[in-house]
Protein backbone atom coordinates (compact mmCIF):
# COMPACT_ATOMS: atom_id res chain seq x y z
CA UNK A 1 0.00 0.00 0.00
CA UNK A 2 1.16 3.54 -0.71
CA UNK A 3 1.00 6.34 1.79
CA UNK A 4 -1.94 7.82 -0.12
CA UNK A 5 -4.98 6.25 -1.71
CA UNK A 6 -4.45 6.91 -5.40
CA UNK A 7 -7.03 4.60 -6.90
CA UNK A 8 -9.13 6.06 -9.72
CA UNK A 9 -12.28 7.83 -8.71
CA UNK A 10 -15.48 6.03 -9.54
CA UNK A 11 -18.54 7.73 -11.00
CA UNK A 12 -20.15 7.92 -7.57
CA UNK A 13 -17.02 9.57 -6.16
CA UNK A 14 -17.02 12.14 -8.97
CA UNK A 15 -20.70 13.02 -8.68
CA UNK A 16 -20.27 15.53 -5.89
CA UNK A 17 -17.00 16.97 -7.11
CA UNK A 18 -16.52 20.29 -8.97
CA UNK A 19 -17.04 20.21 -12.72
CA UNK A 20 -13.34 20.90 -13.34
CA UNK A 21 -12.46 17.73 -11.43
CA UNK A 22 -15.10 15.64 -13.19
CA UNK A 23 -13.90 16.78 -16.61
CA UNK A 24 -10.28 15.69 -16.18
CA UNK A 25 -9.44 13.42 -19.14
CA UNK A 26 -7.83 10.06 -18.49
CA UNK A 27 -6.24 9.59 -21.92
CA UNK A 28 -3.60 11.64 -23.68
CA UNK A 29 -5.72 11.72 -26.84
CA UNK A 30 -8.46 13.52 -24.88
CA UNK A 31 -6.07 16.13 -23.49
CA UNK A 32 -6.72 19.53 -25.07
CA UNK A 33 -3.90 21.97 -25.78
CA UNK A 34 -0.10 21.89 -25.45
CA UNK A 35 0.39 20.35 -28.87
CA UNK A 36 3.85 21.91 -29.02
CA UNK A 37 4.99 19.28 -26.50
CA UNK A 38 2.29 16.61 -26.78
CA UNK A 39 1.64 16.48 -30.51
CA UNK A 40 2.56 13.34 -32.48
CA UNK A 41 6.31 12.84 -32.48
CA UNK A 42 6.97 15.52 -29.87
CA UNK A 43 9.58 14.55 -27.22
CA UNK A 44 7.30 14.41 -24.17
CA UNK A 45 4.65 12.38 -25.95
CA UNK A 46 7.27 9.95 -27.21
CA UNK A 47 8.69 9.54 -23.68
CA UNK A 48 5.22 8.85 -22.28
CA UNK A 49 4.25 6.39 -25.00
CA UNK A 50 7.55 4.51 -24.69
CA UNK A 51 7.41 4.61 -20.90
CA UNK A 52 10.85 6.22 -20.79
CA UNK A 53 9.94 9.13 -18.59
CA UNK A 54 12.46 11.16 -16.60
CA UNK A 55 11.79 13.69 -13.85
CA UNK A 56 10.35 16.90 -15.25
CA UNK A 57 9.02 20.34 -14.38
CA UNK A 58 5.75 21.56 -15.89
CA UNK A 59 5.87 25.34 -16.03
CA UNK A 60 2.80 27.30 -17.06
CA UNK A 61 -0.10 29.52 -15.99
CA UNK A 62 -2.99 28.20 -13.86
CA UNK A 63 -5.62 25.97 -15.41
CA UNK A 64 -3.68 24.70 -18.43
CA UNK A 65 -3.59 21.03 -17.38
CA UNK A 66 -0.43 20.50 -15.33
CA UNK A 67 -2.11 18.28 -12.71
CA UNK A 68 -4.21 16.49 -15.32
CA UNK A 69 -1.16 15.77 -17.44
CA UNK A 70 0.70 14.33 -14.44
CA UNK A 71 -2.23 11.98 -13.73
CA UNK A 72 -2.38 10.83 -17.34
CA UNK A 73 1.37 10.19 -17.35
CA UNK A 74 1.09 8.11 -14.17
CA UNK A 75 -1.76 6.09 -15.68
CA UNK A 76 -0.03 5.50 -19.02
CA UNK A 77 3.33 4.59 -17.45
CA UNK A 78 1.74 2.33 -14.79
CA UNK A 79 3.33 4.24 -11.94
CA UNK A 80 2.01 4.64 -8.42
CA UNK A 81 0.74 8.22 -8.40
CA UNK A 82 1.28 10.31 -5.27
CA UNK A 83 0.01 13.91 -5.37
CA UNK A 84 1.84 16.23 -3.03
CA UNK A 85 1.15 19.89 -2.27
CA UNK A 86 4.00 22.26 -1.48
CA UNK A 87 1.47 24.52 0.22
CA UNK A 88 0.40 21.92 2.81
CA UNK A 89 3.56 19.87 3.32
CA UNK A 90 7.01 20.17 4.87
CA UNK A 91 10.19 18.13 5.44
CA UNK A 92 8.41 15.64 7.70
CA UNK A 93 5.83 14.81 5.04
CA UNK A 94 8.51 14.64 2.34
CA UNK A 95 10.48 12.04 4.31
CA UNK A 96 7.37 9.95 4.92
CA UNK A 97 6.50 9.95 1.21
CA UNK A 98 10.10 9.13 0.23
CA UNK A 99 10.21 6.19 2.62
CA UNK A 100 7.00 4.89 1.08
CA UNK A 101 8.40 5.34 -2.44
CA UNK A 102 11.58 3.46 -1.49
CA UNK A 103 9.54 0.49 -0.26
CA UNK A 104 7.60 0.44 -3.51
CA UNK A 105 10.83 0.44 -5.54
CA UNK A 106 12.10 -2.56 -3.60
CA UNK A 107 8.83 -4.29 -4.42
CA UNK A 108 9.43 -3.57 -8.12
CA UNK A 109 6.95 -0.72 -8.44
CA UNK A 110 7.70 2.80 -9.60
CA UNK A 111 6.39 5.94 -7.94
CA UNK A 112 5.46 9.12 -9.75
CA UNK A 113 5.49 11.97 -7.26
CA UNK A 114 3.57 15.01 -8.40
CA UNK A 115 4.50 18.15 -6.46
CA UNK A 116 2.06 20.98 -7.05
CA UNK A 117 3.44 24.52 -6.70
CA UNK A 118 6.96 23.21 -6.17
CA UNK A 119 8.27 26.78 -6.19
CA UNK A 120 6.75 27.20 -2.70
CA UNK A 121 9.27 24.75 -1.24
CA UNK A 122 12.41 26.37 0.16
CA UNK A 123 15.91 25.21 -0.81
CA UNK A 124 16.22 22.65 1.99
CA UNK A 125 12.86 21.11 1.16
CA UNK A 126 13.70 20.86 -2.55
CA UNK A 127 17.12 19.39 -1.74
CA UNK A 128 15.36 16.64 0.22
CA UNK A 129 14.11 15.16 -3.09
CA UNK A 130 17.58 14.91 -4.68
CA UNK A 131 18.85 11.54 -3.37
CA UNK A 132 15.55 9.84 -4.19
CA UNK A 133 15.51 11.28 -7.72
CA UNK A 134 19.11 10.21 -8.28
CA UNK A 135 18.51 6.66 -7.00
CA UNK A 136 15.41 6.31 -9.10
CA UNK A 137 13.10 5.85 -6.13
CA UNK A 138 10.77 8.40 -7.66
CA UNK A 139 9.97 10.07 -10.94
CA UNK A 140 9.39 13.67 -9.88
CA UNK A 141 6.94 15.90 -11.73
CA UNK A 142 6.90 19.40 -10.35
CA UNK A 143 4.28 21.96 -11.35
CA UNK A 144 4.90 25.67 -11.10
CA UNK A 145 3.51 28.94 -12.33
CA UNK A 146 6.86 30.64 -11.70
CA UNK A 147 10.03 30.58 -13.79
CA UNK A 148 11.89 27.41 -12.69
CA UNK A 149 15.23 29.07 -13.37
CA UNK A 150 14.61 31.32 -10.39
CA UNK A 151 12.40 29.16 -8.17
CA UNK A 152 13.79 25.61 -8.44
CA UNK A 153 17.24 24.79 -7.02
CA UNK A 154 19.87 24.22 -9.70
CA UNK A 155 20.71 20.66 -8.56
CA UNK A 156 17.09 19.57 -8.97
CA UNK A 157 16.70 21.56 -12.17
CA UNK A 158 19.72 19.86 -13.74
CA UNK A 159 18.13 16.45 -13.09
CA UNK A 160 14.80 17.41 -14.64
CA UNK A 161 13.50 18.41 -18.04
CA UNK A 162 11.51 21.65 -18.07
CA UNK A 163 8.43 21.86 -20.30
CA UNK A 164 6.69 25.20 -20.74
CA UNK A 165 2.92 24.95 -21.02
CA UNK A 166 0.91 27.68 -22.73
CA UNK A 167 -2.37 29.32 -21.84
CA UNK A 168 -5.23 27.65 -23.68
CA UNK A 169 -6.62 29.42 -26.71
CA UNK A 170 -10.31 30.46 -26.79
CA UNK A 171 -10.93 27.69 -29.34
CA UNK A 172 -9.42 25.09 -26.99
CA UNK A 173 -11.48 26.40 -24.06
CA UNK A 174 -14.64 26.17 -26.20
CA UNK A 175 -13.80 22.55 -27.01
CA UNK A 176 -13.64 21.80 -23.28
CA UNK A 177 -16.88 23.66 -22.61
CA UNK A 178 -18.68 21.72 -25.34
CA UNK A 179 -17.61 18.48 -23.66
CA UNK A 180 -18.78 19.76 -20.27
CA UNK A 181 -22.21 20.70 -21.66
CA UNK A 182 -22.70 17.09 -22.72
CA UNK A 183 -21.85 15.94 -19.18
CA UNK A 184 -24.24 18.51 -17.71
CA UNK A 185 -26.86 17.59 -20.33
CA UNK A 186 -27.28 21.27 -21.18
CA UNK A 187 -26.83 23.49 -24.20
CA UNK A 188 -25.59 27.05 -24.68
CA UNK A 189 -25.25 29.41 -27.65
CA UNK A 190 -21.81 29.50 -29.24
CA UNK A 191 -21.33 33.21 -28.58
CA UNK A 192 -21.79 32.68 -24.82
CA UNK A 193 -19.16 29.95 -24.84
CA UNK A 194 -16.86 32.39 -26.63
CA UNK A 195 -17.61 34.98 -23.95
CA UNK A 196 -16.70 32.52 -21.19
CA UNK A 197 -13.57 31.46 -23.07
CA UNK A 198 -12.29 35.01 -23.40
CA UNK A 199 -13.18 35.87 -19.80
CA UNK A 200 -11.34 32.80 -18.49
CA UNK A 201 -8.10 34.07 -20.07
CA UNK A 202 -6.73 30.65 -21.01
CA UNK A 203 -7.61 29.02 -17.67
CA UNK A 204 -9.75 25.89 -18.14
CA UNK A 205 -10.58 25.66 -14.43
CA UNK A 206 -12.01 29.19 -14.45
CA UNK A 207 -14.06 28.38 -17.56
CA UNK A 208 -15.47 25.22 -15.97
CA UNK A 209 -16.35 27.08 -12.78
CA UNK A 210 -18.22 29.76 -14.71
CA UNK A 211 -20.12 27.15 -16.70
CA UNK A 212 -21.00 25.17 -13.58
CA UNK A 213 -22.31 28.23 -11.77
CA UNK A 214 -24.31 29.30 -14.82
CA UNK A 215 -25.79 25.80 -15.12
CA UNK A 216 -27.32 26.21 -11.66
CA UNK A 217 -29.61 28.96 -12.99
CA UNK A 218 -30.21 27.48 -16.44
CA UNK A 219 -33.81 27.15 -17.65
CA UNK A 220 -35.24 24.31 -19.71
CA UNK A 221 -31.82 22.77 -20.28
CA UNK A 222 -30.33 25.93 -21.80
CA UNK A 223 -27.68 28.25 -20.37
CA UNK A 224 -28.72 31.66 -21.60
CA UNK A 225 -27.23 35.13 -21.56
CA UNK A 226 -28.85 36.04 -18.25
CA UNK A 227 -27.32 32.97 -16.59
CA UNK A 228 -23.81 33.84 -17.75
CA UNK A 229 -24.26 37.51 -16.81
CA UNK A 230 -25.35 36.52 -13.32
CA UNK A 231 -22.07 34.63 -12.85
CA UNK A 232 -19.73 37.12 -14.51
CA UNK A 233 -21.56 40.07 -12.94
CA UNK A 234 -21.12 41.89 -16.21
CA UNK A 235 -23.15 42.46 -19.34
CA UNK A 236 -22.57 40.06 -22.21
CA UNK A 237 -22.88 41.88 -25.48
CA UNK A 238 -24.79 40.77 -28.55
CA UNK A 239 -22.15 39.43 -30.87
CA UNK A 240 -22.16 36.64 -33.40
CA UNK A 241 -18.80 36.08 -35.04
CA UNK A 242 -20.43 34.50 -38.05
CA UNK A 243 -23.34 36.94 -38.28
CA UNK A 244 -24.18 40.52 -39.14
CA UNK A 245 -23.16 42.15 -35.86
CA UNK A 246 -19.59 40.93 -36.32
CA UNK A 247 -19.34 42.78 -39.63
CA UNK A 248 -21.26 45.81 -38.37
CA UNK A 249 -18.80 46.41 -35.55
CA UNK A 250 -15.61 45.93 -37.56
CA UNK A 251 -17.09 48.23 -40.21
CA UNK A 252 -17.79 50.87 -37.56
CA UNK A 253 -14.22 50.58 -36.24
CA UNK A 254 -12.70 50.82 -39.71
CA UNK A 255 -14.78 53.83 -40.73
CA UNK A 256 -14.08 55.61 -37.44
CA UNK A 257 -10.33 55.19 -38.00
CA UNK A 258 -10.66 56.35 -41.61
CA UNK A 259 -12.63 59.40 -40.40
CA UNK A 260 -9.84 60.29 -37.91
CA UNK A 261 -12.16 59.86 -34.91
CA UNK A 262 -10.11 58.15 -32.15
CA UNK A 263 -12.93 58.34 -29.60
CA UNK A 264 -15.37 56.48 -31.82
CA UNK A 265 -12.63 54.01 -32.79
CA UNK A 266 -11.97 53.26 -29.10
CA UNK A 267 -15.68 52.78 -28.42
CA UNK A 268 -16.19 50.27 -31.23
CA UNK A 269 -12.94 48.54 -30.30
CA UNK A 270 -14.10 48.21 -26.69
CA UNK A 271 -17.42 46.77 -27.89
CA UNK A 272 -15.58 44.09 -29.82
CA UNK A 273 -13.18 43.29 -26.99
CA UNK A 274 -15.95 42.99 -24.42
CA UNK A 275 -17.96 40.78 -26.73
CA UNK A 276 -15.06 38.33 -27.00
CA UNK A 277 -13.80 38.98 -30.53
CA UNK A 278 -10.62 37.19 -31.55
CA UNK A 279 -7.83 39.67 -30.81
CA UNK A 280 -5.74 38.54 -33.75
CA UNK A 281 -8.67 39.21 -36.08
CA UNK A 282 -8.86 42.78 -34.82
CA UNK A 283 -5.08 43.14 -35.18
CA UNK A 284 -5.24 41.92 -38.78
CA UNK A 285 -7.96 44.40 -39.62
CA UNK A 286 -6.00 47.27 -38.08
CA UNK A 287 -3.00 46.31 -40.22
CA UNK A 288 -5.32 46.44 -43.21
CA UNK A 289 -6.45 49.95 -42.19
CA UNK A 290 -2.83 51.08 -41.99
CA UNK A 291 -2.26 49.91 -45.56
CA UNK A 292 -5.56 50.99 -47.08
CA UNK A 293 -6.29 54.30 -45.39
CA UNK A 294 -2.98 55.72 -44.18
CA UNK A 295 -0.57 54.26 -46.70
CA UNK A 296 2.45 56.38 -47.54
CA UNK A 297 1.02 59.46 -45.83
CA UNK A 298 2.62 57.85 -42.75
CA UNK A 299 4.75 54.82 -43.68
CA UNK A 300 5.32 54.11 -39.97
CA UNK A 301 1.64 53.26 -39.54
CA UNK A 302 2.26 49.82 -41.03
CA UNK A 303 5.31 49.30 -38.81
CA UNK A 304 3.33 50.29 -35.73
CA UNK A 305 0.42 48.02 -36.72
CA UNK A 306 2.68 45.00 -37.10
CA UNK A 307 4.32 45.84 -33.77
CA UNK A 308 0.87 45.96 -32.16
CA UNK A 309 -0.04 42.60 -33.70
CA UNK A 310 3.13 41.07 -32.29
CA UNK A 311 2.41 42.58 -28.86
CA UNK A 312 -1.10 41.11 -28.87
CA UNK A 313 0.28 37.70 -29.83
CA UNK A 314 3.01 37.91 -27.18
CA UNK A 315 0.95 39.26 -24.28
CA UNK A 316 -2.46 37.71 -24.87
CA UNK A 317 -5.62 38.82 -23.04
CA UNK A 318 -6.07 41.25 -21.38
CA UNK A 319 -2.62 42.92 -21.54
CA UNK A 320 -2.51 42.83 -25.34
CA UNK A 321 -5.78 44.75 -25.56
CA UNK A 322 -3.90 47.93 -24.68
CA UNK A 323 -1.74 47.49 -27.77
CA UNK A 324 -4.90 47.35 -29.88
CA UNK A 325 -6.17 50.54 -28.27
CA UNK A 326 -2.84 52.27 -28.84
CA UNK A 327 -2.67 51.42 -32.54
CA UNK A 328 -6.34 52.32 -33.06
CA UNK A 329 -5.58 55.80 -31.70
CA UNK A 330 -2.39 56.08 -33.78
CA UNK A 331 -4.16 55.16 -37.01
CA UNK A 332 -7.06 57.48 -36.24
CA UNK A 333 -4.87 60.56 -35.86
CA UNK A 334 -2.42 59.69 -38.66
CA UNK A 335 -2.64 61.58 -41.97
CA UNK A 336 -4.78 59.66 -44.44
CA UNK A 337 -4.13 58.56 -47.99
CA UNK A 338 -5.50 55.75 -50.11
CA UNK A 339 -3.31 56.73 -53.06
CA UNK A 340 -1.20 53.55 -52.91
CA UNK A 341 -4.37 51.46 -52.54
CA UNK A 342 -5.96 53.15 -55.55
CA UNK A 343 -2.70 52.86 -57.51
CA UNK A 344 -2.74 49.07 -57.25
CA UNK A 345 -6.42 49.01 -58.21
CA UNK A 346 -5.66 51.05 -61.33
CA UNK A 347 -2.69 48.86 -62.24
CA UNK A 348 -4.77 45.72 -61.73
CA UNK A 349 -7.57 47.12 -63.89
CA UNK A 350 -5.08 47.99 -66.62
CA UNK A 351 -3.61 44.48 -66.54
CA UNK A 352 -7.09 43.01 -66.85
CA UNK A 353 -8.17 45.27 -69.72
CA UNK A 354 -5.04 45.54 -71.87
CA UNK A 355 -2.84 43.24 -73.87
CA UNK A 356 -0.11 41.57 -71.85
CA UNK A 357 2.83 43.01 -73.76
CA UNK A 358 6.18 41.22 -73.53
CA UNK A 359 8.80 42.63 -71.18
CA UNK A 360 10.85 45.25 -73.09
CA UNK A 361 14.23 43.87 -74.16
CA UNK A 362 16.22 46.43 -72.20
CA UNK A 363 14.62 45.22 -68.93
CA UNK A 364 15.51 41.57 -69.49
CA UNK A 365 18.58 39.97 -67.94
CA UNK A 366 21.15 38.45 -70.31
CA UNK A 367 22.92 35.69 -68.37
CA UNK A 368 24.15 33.93 -71.54
CA UNK A 369 26.12 35.10 -74.58
CA UNK A 370 23.33 34.04 -76.91
CA UNK A 371 20.79 36.15 -75.06
CA UNK A 372 23.07 39.18 -75.37
CA UNK A 373 23.30 38.55 -79.09
CA UNK A 374 19.52 38.40 -79.28
CA UNK A 375 19.32 41.89 -77.77
CA UNK A 376 18.48 41.07 -74.16
CA UNK A 377 19.37 44.00 -71.83
CA UNK A 378 20.42 46.18 -74.76
CA UNK A 379 19.81 49.83 -73.87
CA UNK A 380 19.50 49.17 -70.14
CA UNK A 381 20.46 52.19 -68.02
CA UNK A 382 21.92 51.27 -64.64
CA UNK A 383 20.52 53.92 -62.32
CA UNK A 384 23.58 54.11 -60.06
CA UNK A 385 25.70 55.31 -62.98
CA UNK A 386 23.59 58.45 -63.26
CA UNK A 387 23.49 61.61 -61.18
CA UNK A 388 21.18 61.16 -58.16
CA UNK A 389 20.76 57.53 -59.33
CA UNK A 390 18.06 58.80 -61.67
CA UNK A 391 17.90 57.64 -65.28
CA UNK A 392 15.33 58.46 -67.95
CA UNK A 393 14.68 54.89 -69.09
CA UNK A 394 11.06 53.91 -69.73
CA UNK A 395 10.12 50.75 -67.83
CA UNK A 396 6.52 50.25 -69.01
CA UNK A 397 5.61 48.41 -72.21
CA UNK A 398 5.33 50.61 -75.28
CA UNK A 399 1.51 50.55 -75.28
CA UNK A 400 1.42 51.94 -71.72
CA UNK A 401 4.20 54.47 -72.08
CA UNK A 402 3.63 57.45 -69.78
CA UNK A 403 0.75 55.86 -67.84
CA UNK A 404 0.41 57.11 -64.24
CA UNK A 405 -1.03 54.81 -61.60
CA UNK A 406 0.16 56.43 -58.38
CA UNK A 407 -0.88 59.99 -57.62
CA UNK A 408 0.20 60.90 -54.08
CA UNK A 409 -1.80 63.30 -51.96
CA UNK A 410 -0.36 66.37 -50.30
CA UNK A 411 -0.89 64.91 -46.82
CA UNK A 412 1.81 63.77 -44.42
CA UNK A 413 4.88 62.13 -45.89
CA UNK A 414 3.14 61.90 -49.27
CA UNK A 415 3.70 65.62 -49.70
CA UNK A 416 7.45 64.93 -49.93
CA UNK A 417 6.80 61.88 -52.10
CA UNK A 418 4.73 64.03 -54.46
CA UNK A 419 7.55 66.54 -54.76
CA UNK A 420 10.07 63.80 -55.49
CA UNK A 421 7.80 62.18 -58.08
CA UNK A 422 7.24 65.52 -59.78
CA UNK A 423 10.99 65.87 -60.13
CA UNK A 424 11.43 62.32 -61.46
CA UNK A 425 8.55 62.55 -63.91
CA UNK A 426 9.63 66.01 -64.99
CA UNK A 427 13.09 64.75 -65.97
CA UNK A 428 11.61 61.88 -67.95
CA UNK A 429 9.24 64.18 -69.83
CA UNK A 430 12.18 66.45 -70.63
CA UNK A 431 14.14 63.46 -71.94
CA UNK A 432 11.20 62.41 -74.13
CA UNK A 433 11.05 65.81 -75.89
CA UNK A 434 12.56 65.77 -79.38
CA UNK A 435 15.73 67.84 -79.68
CA UNK A 436 15.16 71.40 -80.94
- 9-59 residue pLDDT tens: 444 455 568 888 888 988 888 999 999 999 888 989 998 888 888 889 999
Decide: 301 and 341 in contact? Cβ < 8 Å. Answer: no
For residues 150-157, average pLDDT:
86
| Domain 11-164, CATH number (from 3.40.50.300, 3.20.20.330, 3.40.50.1360, 1.10.287.610) | 3.40.50.300
- Comparing 56-70, 237-251, 264-278, 371-385, the range with the smallest average pLDDT is 237-251
In this prediction, residue 8 carries a pLDDT of 45
Task: Note the pLDDT of residue 307.
Answer: 96
Determine the pLDDT at residue 14.
Answer: 59
Confidence of residue 336 (pLDDT cuts 50, 70, 90): very high
Q: What mean pLDDT value characterizes the chain? A: 84
SS3 263: helix
Fold of the 244-333 domain = Zinc Finger, Delta Prime; domain 3 (1.20.272)
Q: Is the pTM of this model over 0.75?
A: no
Range(s) of the chain covered by CATH 1.10.8.60:
170-232
Confidence check: pLDDT of 83 > 90: no
CATH 1.20.272.10 region(s) of the chain?
244-333
What CA–CA distances, in Å, run from 430 to 72, 362, 427?
78, 20, 5
Cis? peptide before 265, omega within 30° of 0: no
**Domain 170-232 -> CATH class:** mainly alpha
CATH 1.10.3710 describes domain 359-432: yes
pLDDT-derived band at 172, boundaries 50, 70, 90: very high
Position with higher pLDDT, 91 vs 43: 43
Strand 138-144 relative to strand 56-59: parallel, antiparallel, unpaired? Answer: parallel
Q: Rg of the chain over CA atoms, in angstroms?
A: 32
CATH 3.40.50.300 domain position(s) in the chain: 11-164
Q: Is the pLDDT of residue 361 over 80?
A: yes
Percent of the chain with pLDDT over 70: 91
- Provide mean pLDDT across the span 150-170: 87
* Residue count (the chain): 436
Higher pLDDT: 299 or 77? It is 299
Nearest 5°: phi and psi at 74?
-60, -40
Q: How far apart (Å, rounded) are the C-alpha atoms in residues 100 and 209?
A: 35
Does residue 1 register a pLDDT over 90? no
Indicate whether 3 pLDDT > 50.
Answer: no
What pLDDT does residue 227 have?
A: 83
Q: Where are the beta strands (DSSP E) in 155-292?
A: 161-164
Contact of 28 with 76, CB cutoff 8 Å: yes
What interhelical angle do 262-274 and 319-333 show, nearest 10? 150
Report which of 279, 149, 309 is spatially closest to residue 202, judged by C-alpha positions. 279
pLDDT (0 to 100) of residue 241: 53
* Average pLDDT rounded to a whole number, residues 63-91: 82
Amino acid sequence: MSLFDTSPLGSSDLAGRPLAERMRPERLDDFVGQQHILGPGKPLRVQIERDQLQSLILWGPPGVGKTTLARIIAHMTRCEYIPFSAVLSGIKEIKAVMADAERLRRAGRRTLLFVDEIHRFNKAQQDAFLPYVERGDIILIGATTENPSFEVVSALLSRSKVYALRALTPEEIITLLDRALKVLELSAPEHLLEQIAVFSNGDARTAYNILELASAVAHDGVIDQAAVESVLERKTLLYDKAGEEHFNLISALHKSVRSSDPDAALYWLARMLEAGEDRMYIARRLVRMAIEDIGLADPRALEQSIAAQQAVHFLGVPEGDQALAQIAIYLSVAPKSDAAYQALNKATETVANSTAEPVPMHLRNAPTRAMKEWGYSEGYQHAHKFEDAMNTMECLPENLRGTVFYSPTGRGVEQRIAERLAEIRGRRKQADKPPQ
